[in-house]
Amino acid sequence: MWQLYQFPLCPFSRKVRFLLGEKGIGYELIRESPWLKRDEFVDMNPAGQTPVMVDSSAPVILVDSQVICEFLEETVDRMPLISGTAVHRAEIRRLVSLFDNKLYFEVTAPLMNERMLKRLVHRQAPDAAILRGAMKNANSHLDYIDWLLDHRRWLAGPVLSLADFAAAAQISVSDYLGGVDWRGHENSREWYAAMKSRPSFQPILAERMEVILPPDHYDQPDF
């Protein structure tokens, strides 16, 4: 049985959990707070980040969300999410990287720092200017997603792919932290409603991080 080291608001762990859910792979959640830099965790992953996925019977230790996703794509036939020609696979991976990097650093990471880490760890008030910047960046990313959906059924093309789950993982954490204003983004909203309705999304939407509560619309199918 796989064990996944993660915490409820880790967007990269969410990406992996979506994939595990879509592929119907059983796993056990293990709560890890990477900011505590627990010795045993850093021994498993010198980069010190969640998610880490472990099969202690093998033993196999998989580190880094994209590494885990590529591994699952290579080893599990069901529900392929990096599929098609080499060029189409490149387009899926380009968008995954865009959401894992740009969207994360410009939106999710500052929201997590200001609204989660400062509250739970540093006991500081959030910086309003940084929050405004993150929300402005969120708006630009939703504009780009709107534009993609003007041309495509799903983000990378006609078929649901890992790009959709990578985007939904970042956006769901940002939405939990009150950083997403959906007004004026009808394409993105419709797409995200379809993502929310997937069985792989339900257990994640139901989870709560201690102390920090999401806005009312967060887990609503209509929002």
Helix/strand/coil for 29: strand
Q: Which secondary structure element, helix H or strand E, spans residue 14, and what is its range?
A: helix 11-23
Pairing of strands 2-6, 60-63: unpaired
Applying CB under 8 A, which of residues 62, 112, 142, 180 lies at the interface with a second copy? Answer: 62
Per DSSP, 53 falls in state E
Applying CB under 8 A, which of residues 28, 39, 40, 75 lies at the interface with a second copy? Answer: 75
Our CB check for a second copy shows the closer of 160 and 163 to be 163
Applying CB under 8 A, which of residues 23, 38, 89, 198 lies at the interface with a second copy? Answer: 89
**Rounded to whole angstroms, how far apart are CA atoms 91 and 104?**
19
Q: How far is the CB of 92 from a second copy (least distance, A)?
A: 9
Query: Can you say how many angstroms the Cα of residue 171 is from the centroid of all Cα atoms in its chain?
Result: 7
Can you name the residues that pair with 27 across neighbouring β-strands?
2
Binding mask 111-150 for a second copy (x = CB under 8 A): ---------------------------------x------
Q: Which secondary structure element, helix H or strand E, spans residue 43, and what is its range?
A: helix 39-44
25: contact with a second copy by CB under 8 A: no
**Tokens at 68, concatenated:** 């885990």
Q: How far is the CB of 1 from a second copy (least distance, A)?
A: 17
Applying CB under 8 A, which of residues 35, 94, 153, 190 lies at the interface with a second copy? Answer: 94
Q: How many other CB atoms are there within 10 angstroms of residue 166's CB atom?
A: 32
Q: Which residues make up the interface to a second copy (CB under 8 A)?
A: 46-47, 60, 62-64, 66-68, 70-71, 74-75, 86-87, 89-90, 93-94, 97-98, 101-102, 144
